[in-house]
Copies of this chain bind each other. A is one copy, B any other.
């Protein structure tokens, strides 16, 4: 707890750490960042790439990401308009950090699943 914005109680509405956490907590945001890691992608392409997004959530999330400076938007004046989204350098550093989490998930999911089974089994016995 030696940082300017103290953890773990950095969640007061006034504290901006919360803002970042909320962003990462957003399923679609993480997915979008990942999809843009290799190259710029168009709106509709993203829609197909990210299975299950509604166009509302896609548009909404892209707008937030752009506002946060994590993604940049470029409208190319073709007919009809083409819009390319790409990840910014800032977004890339965040993405790298999030990757740490994904790796944790992949390497520890077995333990989590096992713990769940044991827990549920314990409840079974009590119920009986």
State A17–B98 Cα separation when bound (angstroms). 13
A54 within 8 Å of B by Cβ? no
Are A31 and B8 interface neighbours, CB within 8 A? yes
Q: Oligomeric state, in number of copies?
A: 2
A83 within 8 Å of B by Cβ? no
State A8–B101 Cα separation when bound (angstroms). 12
By size class, the interface of chain A is 35 or more
Which residue numbers of A lie inside 8 Å of B, CB to CB?
3-5, 7-12, 16-22, 24-27, 30-31, 33-35, 37, 49-52, 66-70, 90, 93-94, 97-102, 104-106, 108-109, 111-116, 118-120
A-B contact pairs, 30 of them (CB 8 A): A7-B34, A8-B30, A8-B33, A8-B34, A8-B37, A9-B49, A9-B50, A11-B31, A11-B51, A12-B51, A17-B106, A18-B27, A19-B112, A20-B101, A20-B108, A20-B109, A22-B27, A24-B101, A25-B27, A66-B119, A67-B119, A68-B112, A69-B111, A69-B112, A69-B114, A69-B115, A90-B112, A94-B108, A100-B100, A100-B101
